[in-house]
Amino acid sequence: MIRLDDLFVHGWKIYQDTDGFCFGTDAILLSSFAAEKRFSTAVDLCCGTGILPLLLASNECATHVYGVDISQACIDLARQSVELNDLSQRITVLCEDLNRTSLPAGKFDLVTANPPYFPQGTGKTSRRGAESSRREEDCTFSDVAVAASRLLRFGGRFCFVFKPERLADAMIVCKKNRLEPKVLRFIYPKKNKPPELFLMECKKGAASGLKCDPPFVLYEDSGEETAQFFAIHRF
């Protein structure tokens, strides 16, 4: 079923397919994390129905944001959202394989990705139609990193959200592609629970040196949002 959701930013809305993969907390966290530093042009890989392009375009510093996804159904919904919000001059979404995207190399300040978290045959899927969004069926994290490195200008940033169990592999892949890990932030559901996600910022061509941010906790023991999550949670 196609649903129209309010983004609570500039009065914008987004179309989503409830039988497919709908955006969640990880997209909200990534958009806030990526926008902590200024950028002009950005590309979101594995953009789905366009949540990251919409949120990134809400920043005054953004001049143009691109989204790339291999799913025609997702891109069709993303385009409808772009048109509904009258954002065709600021957002372009492309139905392309990120391994062969037509976007120019070395031109972008920022690349973001909420990539498939799990290798094929692992992990859980909560919704029908979400398999390729959660598992590495259409692309791997290595594919995403290669594409990000190609698209970024020297000194450009690659920001992504991923599962903690894949941290070591992700760092190896990024460094192999000249994407130097610079900022790491673990996301905890509650303060006494293990982290369930991490956010990472890499910089193309940078020298080594990684900064670990303080823990980011989503919920109090009572179940209420923490102040730091409430500050970015507009949904």
pLDDT digits (tens, 9 = 90+) for 127-181: 444 544 565 677 999 999 999 999 999 999 999 999 999 999 999 999 999 999 9
> What percent of the chain stands above pLDDT 70?
92
How do beta strands 179-188 and 197-204 pair?
antiparallel
Q: How long, in residues, is the chain?
A: 235
Buried b (16+ CB within 10 A) or exposed e, 102-137: ebeeeebbbbbbbbbbbeeeeeeeeeeebbbbbbbe
Closest listed residue to residue 118, CA positions, set 106, 101, 104, 131: 131
Q: Which domains are delineated in the chain?
A: 25-230 (3.40.50.150)
Residue 103, pLDDT above cutoff 60:
yes
Over residues 185-211, the mean pLDDT reads: 97
Query: 231: helix, coil or strand?
Result: coil
Over residues 108-130, the mean pLDDT reads: 73
User: Residue 134, by phi and psi: left (phi above 0), alpha (psi -120 to 50) or beta?
Assistant: alpha
Rounded Cα distance, 229 and 204, in Å: 29
Task: Provide the pLDDT for residue 120.
Answer: 62
Residue 34, pLDDT above cutoff 70:
yes
Closest listed residue to residue 232, CA positions, set 36, 62, 11: 36
pLDDT digits (tens, 9 = 90+) for 39-53: 999 999 999 999 999
Task: Provide the pLDDT for residue 33.
Answer: 97
Task: Provide the pLDDT for residue 138.
Answer: 76
pLDDT digits (tens, 9 = 90+) for 52-98: 999 999 999 999 999 999 999 999 999 999 999 999 999 999 999 99
Task: Provide the pLDDT for residue 122.
Answer: 54
Task: Provide the pLDDT for residue 119.
Answer: 81
The pTM score is 0.92
Residue with the bigger pLDDT between 99 and 118: it is 99
Task: Provide the pLDDT for residue 127.
Answer: 47
Over residues 107-122, the mean pLDDT reads: 87
